Amino acid sequence: MKKINLGIIGCGRISKKHFEALDNLKDNFKLIAVCDNKIEKLSHIKENIEKYDNLDLMLDRQDFDLVSICTPSFLHAEQTIKAIKKNKHVITEKPMALNYYDAKRMLENAKMYNKKLFVVKQNRLNPTILKLKKAIDSNKFGKIYFVQFNVFWTRPQSYYDMDEWRGKINEDGGIFMNQASHYVDLVEWLFGKVEKVFSYMDNLERNIETEDVGTAILKFKSGAIGNLNANVLTFPKNYEGSVTIIGEYGTVKVGGIALNEIKEWNFGDVAHNNNIFSENYNTTDVYGNGHYSFYNKVYDSLISNKNFVSDGEEGIKSIKLLEAMYLSQKEKKEIYLDEI
C-alpha cells in the first residue's frame, strides 16, 4: 500500500484527535512535519518528526503531499490557499472559513491548482448518524415535521483565556461558528435545504466578544420546522449533543455528548428496534471518534481519486447557513438563504 506523507499545521486542542487517528493508520499515512508558531506546543511531538515554527519553511518541503490545518478558525482560509499554492492537498478543521467569500476563494484555488480540499466533518461518519441518514434517505420517517438540534456544552472562562483568539468575533466567530459548527453542517446534510432562518443570540456570562448562548429557528424548503440550540454555559460539564426528529411514521433521538448514542428509535418495528442500539459507542470527549474514519476516507479519495462526502463543496454549505444565522441576529429579522 502506498503511504501518504503529510504535515500538521497547529498543535493545539483539536490536533490531538489528528495525532491519535494517524497513530492508528500508520500503514496509510506518515507524519513527517508539524508546525506551530508557539514553540512550547511542539514539545510533545516525537523526535523523528521535523518541527517548525515557520509555516513557509515547512510548506517549501517537497517530500509530503498533504497538510492538515488545526489552527484557529480565522487562519484556515489563508493557510489553505498558501498550502494549495505549494502543491499540497489540504485537510482543514471546521469551520473551513469564517465567511462565505473566503470559503469560495479556498474552493477556487483548489480547482485552479488541481488539489483536493477536505473539511473535517467527523459527525457525518458516526455510525449512529449514518444509520439515521439511511432512515431519512429511505423515507422511513415519511413526512418529517420537526427537527431539533441541541449543543449543551460547557466552556469555562479559562478555556477562552488560554488563547487570545478565543471568543473574538473576527477570529473565533462565536459558538455557532465554532462549537456548534458540526451540528449546523448536519442540518442540511440530513434534512435538505433551509428556506429561512431566524436567530437570537446573547452573551450572558463569559467575558468574550461573541455569544455564549443562542437559538436558531429553521424553516426547511420541505415544509419541516426545526431549531438549533447552543450554549457553552451548561453546568457542570458537557451534557448533550443531540438531534431529535419527529416524523409521520417515526420518532428518533440521537444524543450522548457527541451524537454517539441512539436514545430513541421508534418506527413501530420492535424487531428492528432491538438491533439499533448496537450502533452506540463510548467517547471521552465532544469530538467523538470520527477522525479515524475521516482519515480513512481521505486516503481512499487520494489513492483512488474518489469523491468524498466531506470535501470543500460540502463544507461551504454550512458557511452560508451560518452567515444567515448571524445576519438574522444582527438585523433582528428572518433571513431567506436564497437572498444572500
DSSP 254-320: EETTTT-EEEEEESS-HHHHHHHGGG----SSTTTTHHHHHHHHHHHHHHH----TTBHHHHHHHHH
State whether 183 and 327 are in the same domain. yes
State whether 36 and 101 are in the same domain. yes
State whether 129 and 230 are in the same domain. yes
Helix 290-304 and helix 15-23: axis angle, to 10°? Answer: 70
The Cα–Cα gap between 163 and 178 comes to: 14
Contact criterion met (CB below 8 Å) for 241 and 151: yes
State whether 85 and 199 are in the same domain. no
Contact criterion met (CB below 8 Å) for 98 and 317: no
Total domains, the chain: 2
Q: Which tens digit of pLDDT belongs to each residue from 282-324?
A: 988 888 889 999 999 999 999 998 888 889 999 999 999 999 9
Per-residue pLDDT tens listing for the chain (340 residues) = 799 999 999 999 999 999 999 999 999 999 999 999 998 888 888 778 999 999 999 999 999 999 999 999 999 999 999 999 999 999 999 999 999 999 999 999 999 999 999 999 999 999 999 999 999 999 999 999 999 999 999 999 999 999 999 999 999 999 999 999 999 999 999 999 999 999 999 999 999 999 999 999 999 999 999 999 999 999 999 999 999 999 999 999 999 999 999 999 999 876 666 678 889 999 888 888 899 999 999 999 999 988 888 899 999 999 999 999 999 999 999 999 999 8
Q: Looking at the chain, which runs of residues are DSSP E strands?
A: 4-9, 29-35, 50-52, 66-69, 89-92, 117-119, 144-152, 194-202, 213-220, 225-231, 240-247, 251-255, 261-266, 335-336
What CATH number does the domain containing 8 carry?
3.40.50.720
The Cα–Cα gap between 281 and 283 comes to: 7
Secondary structure (H, E, C), 12-44? CCCHHHHHHHHHCCCCCEEEEEEECCCHHHHCC
State whether 177 and 228 are in the same domain. yes
- Which structural domain range is residue 90 located in? 4-121+290-311
State whether 184 and 298 are in the same domain. no
State whether 223 and 273 are in the same domain. yes
Write down the pLDDT at residue 145: 98
What are the backbone dihedrals phi and psi of residue 230, each rounded to the nearest 5 degrees, phi first? Answer: -145, 145
What CATH number does the domain containing 261 carry?
3.30.360.10
What are the backbone dihedrals phi and psi of residue 296, each rounded to the nearest 5 degrees, phi first? Answer: -60, -45
Chain centre to alpha carbon of residue 246: 24
State whether 307 and 252 are in the same domain. no
Strand arrangement, sheet containing 251-255: 261-266, 251-255, 240-247, 144-152, 225-231, 213-220, 194-202, 335-336
Write down the pLDDT at residue 272: 64
Contact criterion met (CB below 8 Å) for 180 and 288: no
With cell 428496534, the residue in question is 273
79-4-16-157 Cα dihedral, nearest 10 degrees: 20
Name the DSSP class of 209. S
Residue 274 C-alpha cell reads as 432491538
State whether 228 and 272 are in the same domain. yes
Write down the pLDDT at residue 45: 84
State whether 198 and 325 are in the same domain. yes
Residue 149's nearest CA partner among 126, 180, 122, 172 is: 180
Write down the pLDDT at residue 273: 67
Write down the pLDDT at residue 271: 65
Write down the pLDDT at residue 288: 86
- Exposure string (b/e) for 70-98, b if CB count within 10 Å is 16 or more? bbbbbbbbebbbbbbebebbbbbbbbbbb
State whether 144 and 279 are in the same domain. yes
State whether 25 and 160 are in the same domain. no
Query: For residue 37, how many C-alpha atoms fall within 13 Å in the half-sphere facing its CB?
Result: 6
CA distances 10 to 16, 55, 79, 80, 137, Å, are 10, 10, 11, 13, 37
Write down the pLDDT at residue 287: 86
